[in-house]
Amino acid sequence: MIRMQNVAKRYAQTGEVLSQLNLELDPGEFVFLTGASGAGKSTLLKLIALIETPSRGNIYLNGHNVTHAKRSQIAKIRSRMGLIFQDHRLLQDRNVFENVALPLRISGYSQREIPRRVRAALDKVGLLPKEKSNPIALSGGEQQRVGIARAIVHKPRLLLADEPTGNLDPTLSLEIFQLLAQFQQVGVTVLVASHDLNLIAQLDKRVIRLEHGHALTGLRGD
Ligand SMILES: Nc1ncnc2c1ncn2[C@@H]1O[C@H](COP(=O)(O)OP(=O)(O)OP(=O)(O)O)[C@@H](O)[C@H]1O
Ligand SMILES: [Mg+2]
């Protein structure tokens, strides 16, 4: 599903953040990405989401080399991904339904299809009764679940989450991880960046640790 081969990332101001990074994720895997603050977890997710481009090396998605994908290709590749952020980035002046519907509207889904898909997504995260609420009226955990519904509403094959539990207490955080694990059970490949080792230890999943720009245990068979 994802293969990174000798990938390096250098930022002009910061220098080389990732160097000689190799990792592989099989389709349908659930993997935690961990490492100290500044280790490059967010950078790695941005490389996979084609938000940043590597300074060296190659990135393959589904066997295709996407390292130098063109803008038009990037849009298409990204439309098959779901992205989840720590701060969920919900629009406060739109209700839950509209927040989740937004990616579908942008992608030009039909008016008939949108309600069906939005409600299916809200049902998966247990928020169907709150579709008319505004994000401000929801708890932190509920807001993050709206962010997850928005990320999966177009049925992506790959789900990337960057510190999705950063602002939540341990119980809610575990619930969010378990919710993400449910998507793996229906065949979605899930990559979750988190520095919360206690929480990670509660789920029996593969862990890739970033250190000094390298992925430790990043390759199959390590
Ligand atoms: N756009 C950028 N321009 C310059 N430097 C950057 C940029 N983005 C990240 N960096 C730097 O790259 C390094 C890795 O950052 P990154 O955000 O990938 O780490 P992280 O592992 O996600 O950290 P955290 O756990 O704090 O979220 C840091 O030193 C950071 O300052
Ligand atoms: Mg980060």
Positive or negative: CA dihedral 68, 74, 76, 82: positive
On whether both 102 and 201 belong to a single domain, the answer is no
User: Which of ligand 1's atoms lies nearest the C-alpha of 46?
Assistant: 18
How close is the Cα of 37 to the center of ligand 2, in Å? Answer: 7
Residue 39 token pair: 């280790």
CATH code of 170's domain: 3.40.50.300
**Residue 15 C-alpha to ligand 1 middle, in angstroms?**
11
217, 174: one domain: yes
- Model confidence pLDDT, tens digit, residues 48-85: 999 999 999 999 999 999 999 999 999 899 989 999 98
Answer yes or no: do 150 and 164 share one domain.
Answer: no
The CB of 1 under 6 Å from ligand 1? The reply is: no
Do 176 and 190 fall into the same domain? Answer: yes
* Residues 2 and 107 both lie in one domain: no
Looking at 136, 155, 174, the residue that finishes a domain is: 155
DSSP tag of 130: G
Which residue among 9, 10, 13, 14 has the greatest number of ligand 1 atoms within 8 angstroms of its CB, and so is best to mutate? 14
Query: For 107-126, what is each residue's pLDDT tens digit?
Result: 899 999 999 999 999 999 99
Q: Is 86 in the pocket of ligand 1 (CB under 6 A)?
A: no
Mean pLDDT of the chain: 93
Give the torsion through C-alpha atoms of 138, 83, 118, 121, to 10 deg.
Answer: -80
The finding on whether 213 has its CB within 6 A of some atom of ligand 1 is: no
- Give the pLDDT band of residue 221 (cuts 50, 70, 90): very low
Per-residue pLDDT tens for 21-52? 999 999 999 999 999 999 999 999 999 999 99
> What whole-number distance in Å separates Cα of residue 180 and Cα of residue 191?
9
Number of domains in the chain: 2
How close are the terminal C-alpha atoms of the chain, in Å?
A: 18
- Domain boundaries, position 120: 87-155
38 lines ligand 1 (CB under 6 A): yes
The pLDDT, as a whole number, for residue 218 is 53
Q: Are 147 and 89 in contact (CB under 8 A)?
A: yes
Domain end, chosen from 122, 155, 188, is at 155
Residue 196 and residue 102 in one domain: no
Residue 37 CB–ligand 1 contact under 6 Å: yes
Of the CA atoms within 13 Å of residue 81, those in its CB half-sphere come to 22
Query: Is the CB of residue 89 less than 8 Å from the CB of residue 102?
Result: no
Q: Which atom of ligand 1 is nearest to the CA of 43?
A: 18
Closest of 11, 7, 39 to residue 23, by C-alpha: 7
